[in-house]
Structure 1
């Protein structure tokens, strides 16, 4: 039992105040027991250290140090509860795990309180170093990168284990980039020990450097290139970012420029990465036929046109010797004709089919037809998969699964789910609840948002536990009488880690400020990408401050190959600022997927950084897509990256 819940340990008045400020002793103990069941059965090799005492079997017992990494499913509150029960030095390790998990959840206030608990109480080197690293991460979370750098610069990597060493360099890079000290970041990555340059962890750092350079505009890269302290290796980084940013969708131009870069920099740290960026030549030939099955004359005509334009845009940028013939087949609104039109395309010599577009059309084709050639289906699988079927699923169900998986990877466990009553939002919410529970999460409560309401105070107060908090304060005031007035801000229930919101943009803009007003604004809040259409509305989107969502890089990134100025091709800008811009991006990626499918067995590890996300193909034919994560800050949608990602 936590120390503050034990009877007889504190003066009754202090216990009463703690009961007001801390939400429920019994609940915390129950949570601790449940969380202990989530502990991993196996401990990663790089997370253990031999114990000083022999266990009697001739093998030293492993001791977990970084509990947050060893137990990815456990929440910050679980680590905190266990730490309050444990004795030192175990308690310190658990407190550090709680602080790390709070930082992963972007809850800096709680992390700061927990880190204070570990201050100056031990001289054990690992604990001291871990606390210093987490304190630096806290400074970065609070947007004080100079303070973070001061702590990190004073940390010797020789005293760190592998996980801490990776965190040290990662935090150093984040600090330098946050201070716009790009040259120093390049010097840091250049100076890393050679033994680290071949590790998988080092690859993470390389990709962070490259990704941050890609976020610079062409003008910023040109200015950085003039820095007097740059060496040739640093300039090569800048050249690679410029090449990929300017020629990213010009496939043949990109191949030629990447070939030239790798020939000039054969031993550069980024050379393996540059080879991975090289777009493979389309497996289809000029004699091949690629059939597009789209509802061009239907209520989905705008979406179909955007998808078609995305396919043809990238097709025109392929080298002529690897450019297949594209034939468009319109099935309009006649779902009964989908099978016949598919057969027509096959009879006409189609070597690969992209489409049909839409859930019902995909379901109808699978029910009525045998897929005779590789077919990229633009809709969800309904259990009737068959050979030659490849699925691109952009349904709200998939998005809901992505949201909850992302939250669980951050160690969040207890969730509120709020959704509008529409069928689409209800399906997404039900999917999120099911997957959350399958992944070990706990649903604290759910609520349906009445679209006729504009004031959700009653619902929010109930869900956040403010009513119970108010009752406790009133009960305490009765005990103390008017001679000792109680002034306490209501506390939301402590078992909450995250809120999932499935609704439209208008309702989200109404709801988020009310959640903030009722003291719940510091909880991570996830929503669908229906709250964003590619162009920020600074004034109105201030109401969505801090809301997290997943979306395509095509919409949330604005520089490099994703930069689209008003002077750019009208094909690239035609759909900008509307939801169907996602279909244009999907069309571009569908073309690249179609080009790869015929030779997928030769490249089982194939990955493609596309306009809709990072793509790969599973052996079951499902297309895996990893989107970008974004959040609203100051009314603008920005890429979201927790300071500590794992």
Structure 2
């Protein structure tokens, strides 16, 4: 009886080992499979194994099983017990891949890339296709999460021939999303392979202006590259573009208030909008006709939409008033696609509603982006006291901290007389003065000691009016913090041309609309010649109006191609998942009473 049990146990052990190992290879080693045994059984067999290589293989199989069952913590613990040096190259590839997958569950792409840098990965192409797919997939995910879109696309192109059915389609769409996310200056193809084809397709789409031009560019590319994977199966966003191009926009309703407190803002928006319309006519295009509606006399949104539909309107631009935008955002759907010129408080509105405005929150996020691009990590914040300052601070802080930055101090500016004390508190100057006084008392004699500020503040995020900024920068200089970089929103810039005002803000960097930083733009020159105020701070509204016109026929395009952008006069425009137009801005600096444009950084 005992002999029979021993024979039965031996047979079970042999079956377990056979279940978790593929055909042996003299050089690469056996690869684990998904076993019939449980994690506990595999670990028990590993503990009782007489050879270290079999024990390592069993533990590797147990770690993989734990990962597949969704227990990443247990998988990592087991994997730590597997000595890499006892594994053959194929098994090392398997272990490195699993380590990378576990790192990605912790949102640690750099750790995943480190795991995939093991020398054994040089022999990946010798392994079964399933392993190549698994390793290539996690490698692509890690590269994308690490911001290396081109390298991630190259990895996905490598595994594409190995995939079938749904996996192949998903990988195909992922390749396009990665390539489409690259800026145009990175799309200069240097080869005629699949990657070069993808890049030339993306460049053709990005450099074409209208939907019709984009469709012609796609058709031309397909004719030149008939055997390319993207020509055989056009990516879904480009298929959507084809549908959009077949539905040209012929009539727009411009819904703005002609009377009331927003009448002056409305006039600047309308003049900018119509200036862009006339520019399109002069360029030989066939722009849509414009129908004007007065939102200040509006009694019912339902009545307005009924009249607009009867008038043949295909797109509404407006309203400007925030209460009306909030009403639209609360509706389940709209009868006509609408580009509101303000933002609701909620995130998501009906599918037919798009929102566009000069949001201070966009500029706060732009400061965060620029400071990161400049290699900074620790910020102090100066914002006005009140609801506006709180919104700007919240937007900056969310973006800054979610990308690894830290906020080490905050002061809310209110009364000018308190400014010096607030900045002294921010930089902990009073503590420094107290230490000097204490030292003086201990020494019993006069001690020469200059107050020293805290050293952990790498830059200041400033959101303020020009008048406040005129006081803040000299106060920083006086409080031994004049060398701390200041990054500001456009609100510090009055565009008045007052050199004395600019001198008081010397060294302050700020984001601003292309309209106000590029006096030679043809449309700006034309508009400013007719309305001189467009060259001052009101120019931001003229720029927004012009961009609203340029956005109108391309809303579907931005929605279908989330990584595409329009280089507008109010900023570089993209579409968020909640269908809000977001702006990225160029940068300038006050230098000796002048405005100096700063070089752009990587987006």
Please classify the TM superposition score into its range, dividing by the shorter chain length.
Answer: 0.5 to 0.7
Determine the structure 2 residue equivalent to 1:361. Answer: 324
Instruction: Please say if residues 283 and 595 of structure 1, whose CA atoms lie closer than 8 Å, have aligned partners that are also in contact.
Output: no
| Match status 1:407 vs 2:368 | no
Determine the structure 1 residue equivalent to 2:555. Answer: 597
Determine the structure 2 residue equivalent to 1:546. Answer: 507
Cα deviation digits, residues 462-499 of structure 1 (max 9, x gap):
111111222233344455554xx754432210121222
Query: Using a 3 Å threshold, how does the CA distance of structure 1 residues 563 and 421 change in structure 2: closer, same or farther?
Result: same
Distance 2:364 2:510 in 1: 10
Query: Using a 3 Å threshold, how does the CA distance of structure 1 residues 203 and 318 change in structure 2: closer, same or farther?
Result: closer
Which residue, out of 591, 594, 597, partners 1:633?
Answer: 591
Instruction: Please say if residues 528 and 534 of structure 2, whose CA atoms lie closer than 8 Å, have aligned partners that are also in contact.
Output: no
| Match status 1:348 vs 2:311 | yes
Instruction: Please say if residues 306 and 575 of structure 1, whose CA atoms lie closer than 8 Å, have aligned partners that are also in contact.
Output: no
**Alpha-carbon distance, 1:49 to partner:** 12
**Alpha-carbon distance, 1:538 to partner:** 0.9
| Match status 1:534 vs 2:462 | no
Instruction: Please say if residues 551 and 627 of structure 1, whose CA atoms lie closer than 8 Å, have aligned partners that are also in contact.
Output: yes
Cα deviation digits, residues 433-486 of structure 1 (max 9, x gap):
4444444433323223233x346222211111111222233344455554xx75
Which residue, out of 280, 291, 298, partners 1:318?
Answer: 280
**Alpha-carbon distance, 1:571 to partner:** 5.7
SS in 2 for 1:316: helix
Cα deviation digits, residues 388-447 of structure 1 (max 9, x gap):
111214222333233234334434333322232343233323443444444443332322
| Match status 1:41 vs 2:4 | no
SS in 2 for 1:43: helix
**Alpha-carbon distance, 1:288 to partner:** 1.9
Query: Using a 3 Å threshold, how does the CA distance of structure 1 residues 283 and 587 change in structure 2: closer, same or farther?
Result: farther
Which residue, out of 392, 402, 406, partners 1:428?
Answer: 392
| Match status 1:445 vs 2:403 | no
Determine the structure 2 residue equivalent to 1:379. Answer: 342
Aligned residue pairs total 404
Distance 2:384 2:291 in 1: 41
**Alpha-carbon distance, 1:328 to partner:** 0.8
**Alpha-carbon distance, 1:618 to partner:** 4.4
Instruction: Please say if residues 558 and 574 of structure 2, whose CA atoms lie closer than 8 Å, have aligned partners that are also in contact.
Output: no
- Taking the TM superposition and a 5 Å limit, the aligned residue runs for 1:158-169 are none
Cα deviation digits, residues 257-308 of structure 1 (max 9, x gap):
xx9xxxxxxxxxxxxxxxxxxxx9x969998210011112121112111111
Distance 1:517 1:71 in 2: 44
Instruction: Please say if residues 516 and 536 of structure 2, whose CA atoms lie closer than 8 Å, have aligned partners that are also in contact.
Output: no
Query: Using a 3 Å threshold, how does the CA distance of structure 1 residues 413 and 606 change in structure 2: closer, same or farther?
Result: closer
Distance 2:249 2:514 in 1: 33
Distance 1:598 1:202 in 2: 20
Query: Using a 3 Å threshold, how does the CA distance of structure 1 residues 517 and 433 change in structure 2: closer, same or farther?
Result: same
- Taking the TM superposition and a 5 Å limit, the aligned residue runs for 1:54-133 are none
| Match status 1:517 vs 2:466 | no
Query: Using a 3 Å threshold, how does the CA distance of structure 1 residues 564 and 376 change in structure 2: closer, same or farther?
Result: closer
Gaps spanning 5+ residues in structure 2: where?
1-105, 122-142, 152-178, 189-206, 218-241
Distance 2:570 2:563 in 1: 19
Which residue, out of 612, 621, 624, partners 2:570?
Answer: 612
Query: Using a 3 Å threshold, how does the CA distance of structure 1 residues 590 and 462 change in structure 2: closer, same or farther?
Result: same
> What's the TM-score, normalizing by structure 1?
0.53
Query: Using a 3 Å threshold, how does the CA distance of structure 1 residues 454 and 475 change in structure 2: closer, same or farther?
Result: closer
| Match status 1:586 vs 2:544 | yes
Q: Which moved more, 1:458-467 or 1:382-391?
A: 382-391
Higher Cα radius of gyration? 2
Query: Using a 3 Å threshold, how does the CA distance of structure 1 residues 513 and 604 change in structure 2: closer, same or farther?
Result: closer
Query: Using a 3 Å threshold, how does the CA distance of structure 1 residues 408 and 286 change in structure 2: closer, same or farther?
Result: closer
**Alpha-carbon distance, 1:354 to partner:** 0.8
Query: Using a 3 Å threshold, how does the CA distance of structure 1 residues 471 and 629 change in structure 2: closer, same or farther?
Result: same
**Alpha-carbon distance, 1:385 to partner:** 0.8
Determine the structure 1 residue equivalent to 2:254. Answer: 292
Determine the structure 2 residue equivalent to 1:16. Answer: none
Q: CA RMSD in A?
A: 4.6
Which residue, out of 485, 503, 510, partners 2:464?
Answer: 503
Query: Using a 3 Å threshold, how does the CA distance of structure 1 residues 632 and 290 change in structure 2: closer, same or farther?
Result: same
Determine the structure 2 residue equivalent to 1:180. Answer: none
Query: Using a 3 Å threshold, how does the CA distance of structure 1 residues 346 and 510 change in structure 2: closer, same or farther?
Result: same
SS in 2 for 1:303: helix
Distance 1:494 1:70 in 2: 35
SS in 2 for 1:458: helix
Instruction: Please say if residues 515 and 524 of structure 2, whose CA atoms lie closer than 8 Å, have aligned partners that are also in contact.
Output: no
Query: Using a 3 Å threshold, how does the CA distance of structure 1 residues 564 and 610 change in structure 2: closer, same or farther?
Result: closer
Determine the structure 2 residue equivalent to 1:556. Answer: 517
Instruction: Please say if residues 283 and 322 of structure 1, whose CA atoms lie closer than 8 Å, have aligned partners that are also in contact.
Output: no
SS in 2 for 1:467: helix
Distance 2:511 2:561 in 1: 28
Instruction: Please say if residues 553 and 627 of structure 1, whose CA atoms lie closer than 8 Å, have aligned partners that are also in contact.
Output: yes
Which residue, out of 273, 293, 311, partners 1:329?
Answer: 293
Distance 1:336 1:408 in 2: 47
> What's the TM-score, normalizing by structure 2?
0.57
| Match status 1:389 vs 2:353 | yes
Determine the structure 1 residue equivalent to 2:75. Answer: none
Distance 1:617 1:70 in 2: 20
Which residue, out of 469, 472, 483, partners 2:432?
Answer: 469
SS in 1 for 2:500: helix
Query: Using a 3 Å threshold, how does the CA distance of structure 1 residues 317 and 286 change in structure 2: closer, same or farther?
Result: farther
SS in 1 for 2:109: coil
Distance 1:580 1:444 in 2: 35
SS in 2 for 1:500: strand
Distance 2:249 2:427 in 1: 63
Query: Using a 3 Å threshold, how does the CA distance of structure 1 residues 617 and 415 change in structure 2: closer, same or farther?
Result: closer
**Alpha-carbon distance, 1:645 to partner:** 6.4
Distance 2:503 2:442 in 1: 43
Instruction: Please say if residues 374 and 597 of structure 1, whose CA atoms lie closer than 8 Å, have aligned partners that are also in contact.
Output: no
Cα deviation digits, residues 598-641 of structure 1 (max 9, x gap):
55566555422111111233454232321112221112222233
SS in 2 for 1:459: helix
SS in 1 for 2:318: strand
